[in-house]
Structure 1
């Protein structure tokens, strides 16, 4: 994928590079999604209704979706290291701006710029991970860097939520700023200074989109993320309403969600190059579709709440490595370019999910969020099953 010079630089990179990229995803996810754990506090502090609260998530995801394909191309001009450093600098500044935000308007603005930082970081990190991976090991490399996402759910978001409930939600974002400054230093130490992805040929994006199976894969990315985020946007409120949990209980619930995602991501990494993304996505979302209605239509105690979080984390939040693996198979020479696009589609789905969740919660109530998520999951499963290009006989499956 990379040029000769880039390949030499990447080969010389220290072995710690993949864990550092995973840590970058950890920080980017904490910056993006900590607001979910703190949503009850932010809503009360700013006097927001369900739609206004959901907009703090949807404005981030929509900005990410619209800019990720273009920001991911910055590495072609600036190189991997400078692009990742600029992205993490923006994450740092927007975390500080969020902590200082006096009202809703400022907070929305900070969320928009936070999305720009994450949109530049994640696809470039994925492209770098694939570029320095041996054939047949790219799925493992993607799984390694995406371990940062569940680890953020296990440690970052729950700890930030605990800090927010104890000392105020503003202070939690100061902690994110401190973490991102540390990550910025690690980027300069470990990422090769000369590596960069190859410059895409004119019309490369159109060529990638024209590959058989590419557009259905992008549609699947939207549906996966929409399914997960109808539920996830209001997960803290669901735990309060259905399981009667409070600050520490919510943090533990988010930790369990992250533990489930960590286990699922590890399992995906082990199986992805063996069974293919089709079987992984079908199994994950079939189980998730069955479980989701019970999480909002019924009441349950703390132990069952934590079990639900583990199960949903393992099934609904491990789809990105599978989708990127399929992109790598469908368009191996264009994967670095298309990673930004697949990330964009994931965040289109997240934006749709957050917006839909806000409407459902406002007009029908929280209890209908689970059935709404399941409805989208059924459509997702039908798309995969109905497209013969996802068939087991296809090597890209």
Structure 2
């Protein structure tokens, strides 16, 4: 089982690297392709579009496939997309291949989360899912800094070539170590679609979009924030990003343990923690030491919440495990886009680089309010009191002159 989880985590590592490394390579990409840095930034949006479109689409198309086969197809498409990105000659083709690379992102995590849960011993589902997602968090500690350095030294194309090789390694590992698992009984496409439309699932996805958008209001502009407010150099900002990855790793482990112990209360607690950390970060960002601690805390709170809500959605939509899990990834990328827009808005309004954290805290509180509302709607309803029949019947018999005891 451990090797199967490791193989899927390697795939997650590759996905996390390709998603975030582009942010550090925009100057190299723009210079090589002859476009502005702002235009090169569309490669980030292109990948996000691929995730949002591909998560439900590929999951639906692969409903009848065995889980291992689906994982192999998704990771194979990911590896090919990165390889084509590395050799694409023009900006337009690079953008198109970035969209292609993003397509299997959500579907892969959806299928991997389901497989990890199926392989788990009783009471360890959330921890198994968290271990797969560790690949994504470790990518922010190792993959993104190393990939950025490699791209700066050998050219950005070398980075995506290496990511394609990582995808190929994940394909081999999945083929060798992930067992053939039976499809969960009763899971059908119509069930998946109907479960996805369930009130608790919809509210959970909205909680991610709104609650987690606060994180990206800050993280999108973490580099200028650390330079302007905390006084870090460019080299120092690289270290700060690695600290965020450390926090993400710790948060993923913490969220898995929280969810296994008490799922619904953990949703509330993780979102409340996220809101509090964002609020405090607006003050901590003005000092280099407290800013570093705040970045770690932000990573912990973010991925604790993400892991808990992921498991919650899988629990609330047991007949739609893959589609719901993939939709979670799409919602997370929508949160990314919304958070970046919110952060740009408050900074553009002249409120300074501490303002995105305050706006982010407000969005996290909105997510918490949604989660509380979902919990209220999901509470057990007491059975309706029925009219007492026996006394009425007894009175009827007495009035008729009959003894009800005989």
Using structure 2 for the length normalisation, give the TM-score: 0.81
Query: What are structure 1's unaligned runs of at least 5 residues?
Result: 1-13
Is structure 2 residue 303 aligned with structure 1 residue 320?
A: no
> 1:374: Cα distance to partner?
2.7
Instruction: Look up the match of 1:6.
Output: none
CA positional deviation for 1:170: 3.0
CA distance in 1, matches of 2:231, 2:159: 23
Aligned to 1:353: 339
Q: Which moved more, 1:331-340 or 1:183-192?
A: 331-340
Query: Does the aligned pair in 1 maintain the 2:10–2:166 contact within 8 Å?
Result: no
Q: For residue 163 of structure 1, what is the aligned residue in structure 2?
A: 150
- Kept in 2, the 8 Å contact 1:54–1:358? The answer is no
Does the 8 Å CA contact 1:59/1:351 hold for their aligned counterparts?
no
- RMSD over equivalenced CA pairs, Å: 3.0
Aligned partner (choices 73, 79, 83) of residue 92 of structure 1: 79
How far residue 148 of structure 1 moved from its aligned partner, in angstroms, is: 1.2
2:246 is matched with 259
After superposition, residues 1-397 of structure 1 pair within 5 angstroms as 14-39=1-26, 41-42=28-29, 47-48=35-36, 52=39, 54-193=41-180, 195-197=182-184, 200-201=187-188, 203-276=190-263, 277-294=266-283, 299-301=286-288, 303-358=289-344, 364=350, 367=353, 368-389=355-376
Unpaired segments ≥5 residues, structure 2: 382-406
Shift, 1:382, TM fit: 2.6
Deviations 1:134-168 (A, max 9, x none): 34221111111111121111111121122233444
Q: Go from structure 1 to structure 2 and tell me whether the alpha carbon gap of 1:352 and 1:330 turns closer, same or farther (over 3 Å shift).
A: same
**Contact (CA 8 Å) 1:79, 1:197: kept in 2 or not?**
no
Matching residue of 2:397: none
After superposition, the C-alpha distances for 1:325-378 in whole angstroms (9 at most, x for unaligned) are 212332333333321222222222223223444555566587143333233223
Larger RCO, structure (CA 8 Å, separation 6 or more) = 1
Between 139-148 and 55-64, the greater mean CA deviation after superposition: 55-64
| More divergent stretch after superposition (228-237 vs 238-247) | 238-247
4+ long deviations beyond 6 Å: 390-394
Distance 1:48 1:189 in 2: 44
Using the TM superposition, name which of 214-223 and 59-68 deviates more: 59-68
Number of residue pairs matched by the alignment: 377
Alpha-carbon distance in 2 for matches of 1:211, 1:381 = 19
Q: Find the structure with the greater CA-based Rg.
A: 2
What displacement does 1:210 show?
A: 5.0
Structure 1 residues 103 and 233, CA gap change in structure 2 (3 angstroms) = farther
**Shift in alpha-carbon separation, 1:47–1:147, aligned structure 2, 3 A:** same
Counterpart Cα distance in 2 of 1:392 and 1:314: 29
Deviation at 1:44, TM superposition (A): 6.5
8 A Cα contact 2:268 2:371, kept in partner: no
SS of the residue 1:76 aligns to: coil
CA drift of 1:260 comes to: 0.7
* CA distance in 1: counterparts of 2:54 and 2:96, whole angstroms: 15
**Range moving further from structure 2, 132-141 or 193-202:** 193-202
Is the alpha carbon distance of 1:316 and 1:392 closer, same or farther for their aligned partners in structure 2, counting shifts above 3 Å? farther
- Paired with 1:87 and 1:137, the residues of 2 have a C-alpha distance of 26
1:284 CA drift (Å)? 2.7
Deviations 1:295-345 (A, max 9, x none): 6xx5443x4443232111111233332112212332333333321222222
Residues 102/245 of structure 1: CA separation in 2 closer, same or farther (3 Å cut): farther
Return the alpha-carbon distance in structure 2 between the equivalents of residues 350 and 198 of structure 1. Answer: 35
**Cα 1:119/1:230, change in 2 over 3 Å:** same
d(CA) in 2 for partners of 1:325, 1:197 = 17
